Structure 1
């Protein structure tokens, strides 16, 4: 697959997607979002891919935000459509069956922070910076920031970041629960690959349904969410992987999962 604004590679069942507009600090424009949407669709259908790492080209930025030069001339209706499109792409990432790890190598501001939040796990370089600076432009976050941020860090901290536009360090992002791990720049991709490989060594159905249960259950009341969990728990007892996993445990050997 050839793209103008993305780099794509697969090794050992792990797909690495690199947003590749380094001169624009990987800012999100319509062309990049369209390519990302198409690639996410393709990955989601590819059973040979078990995990995805999403990162940005260059050392300065993961994604510095949406492309302000493109947004400048939009009418209210065009701006709403742009927001809806960005949200649709990020929701695809959130819903795709494979776990997605954001490897944040620099600025993750505005749309960049929102893109990272649509991923399942966020690993940050010590050089990374996070923020939702839209209020500095007289607008609000438009790609999910006002909704995913409070779900991750709580409404109080989210409101502070959204209403001040403050930029925070990777260490602060980890303290508030926005980031899972902070590592030195040279360790960023290896750490992401390590976590992805660990996930691939587990039962494929179990990993994918764990993601699905968290994503769906968090928007349900507890009673319905627990019922959904029990349903999936029972369903997985009908798989060969469940039998292999429990047999391997009892035989004190590593499990050999087949995704069956």
Structure 2
């Protein structure tokens, strides 16, 4: 199991799910993991007693290292298409969720890990200078797609996003707070407890009013992807299977192997 989800009644009469990602060593968002994740979120969405979801990590020092490069390197176009559809699905499930969603970021969260946290309604990060967060795709020679970009613009604004994406910036937790990439910093051992406490405040708002407001705010971004899903998949496949991009990914994997040895 790459996920551990448990429903609790910590927030009064409302049930809140706490989902612990456990895909060692760094919670890479592989095709298998994303599929399992989407099924888990869908089940919670169908459970009318569940009003909130807290997403966190079981792995020390990392929330999620992002998309699994092994699902993009040396794979067939068909596999790449299936993988990218699963990435889209993860984003859609979280970004459109009727539940209150809180990211309890208890470690570093680059690239796809940052995207996952950006889909949530609120982000709480461990106050640790060693942890970083951001959409750093350009550092790998790849490009964050338009819906990654739009999600970040909706959070921190156009100019900050433009610089962050072009330079592939990873922000320290304190810098992430300054630009609004995260909403709150707390000591590492208090991330989950603070998320639970914060959830109570969000659940005090009538569900229908909050859900309609959330949908109204996010609808243009959601519609942009849902009306262009197949085009986006084809663009990704054409891009990621280019020899130059495969070479760049291969070099990055080689660098990671050297680091480990």
Q: Could you state the TM-score of these two structures normalised by the residue count of structure 1?
A: 0.77
Alpha carbons of structure 1 residues 133 and 218: separation in structure 2 relative to 1, 3 Å:
closer
What's the CA shift for 1:150? 1.8
Aligned partner (choices 164, 168, 174) of residue 161 of structure 1: 164
User: Are 1:101 and 1:123, in contact at CA under 8 Å, matched by a contact in 2?
Assistant: yes
State the Cα deviation string for residues 102-161 of structure 1 (Å, max 9, x = none): 111111111100111111111111133112222122111259422211221122211211
Which residue number corresponds to residue 85 of structure 1?
A: 86
Tell me, in whole angstroms, the C-alpha distance in 1 between the residues paired with 2:153 and 2:193: 29
Alpha carbons of structure 1 residues 71 and 92: separation in structure 2 relative to 1, 3 Å:
same
Tell me, in whole angstroms, the C-alpha distance in 2 between the residues paired with 1:36 and 1:218: 22
Which residue number corresponds to residue 22 of structure 2?
A: 20
Tell me, in whole angstroms, the C-alpha distance in 2 between the residues paired with 1:143 and 1:56: 27
User: Are 1:56 and 1:105, in contact at CA under 8 Å, matched by a contact in 2?
Assistant: yes
Which residue number corresponds to residue 175 of structure 1?
A: 178
Q: How does 1:124-139 map to 2 (within 5 A)?
A: 124-127=125-128, 128-139=131-142
Aligned partner (choices 128, 132, 140) of residue 143 of structure 2: 140
Pair 1:194-2:197 in alignment = yes
Q: CA RMSD in A?
A: 2.1
Aligned partner (choices 209, 212, 216) of residue 212 of structure 2: 209
Which residue number corresponds to residue 72 of structure 1?
A: 73
Alpha carbons of structure 1 residues 5 and 47: separation in structure 2 relative to 1, 3 Å:
same
Q: Bigger relative contact order, structure 1 or 2, given CA contacts below 8 A and separation 6+?
A: 2
Query: What secondary structure does 1:41 align onto?
Result: helix
Which residue number corresponds to residue 227 of structure 2?
A: none
Structure 1 or 2, whichever has the larger Rg, is: 1
State the Cα deviation string for residues 46-80 of structure 1 (Å, max 9, x = none): 11011110111122111011111232113456434
Which residue number corresponds to residue 248 of structure 1?
A: none
User: Are 2:92 and 2:222, in contact at CA under 8 Å, matched by a contact in 1?
Assistant: no
Query: What secondary structure does 1:53 align onto?
Result: strand
User: Are 2:100 and 2:203, in contact at CA under 8 Å, matched by a contact in 1?
Assistant: no
User: Are 1:17 and 1:52, in contact at CA under 8 Å, matched by a contact in 2?
Assistant: yes
User: Are 1:22 and 1:61, in contact at CA under 8 Å, matched by a contact in 2?
Assistant: no
Question: How many residue pairs align between the two structures?
Answer: 216
User: Are 1:99 and 1:211, in contact at CA under 8 Å, matched by a contact in 2?
Assistant: no
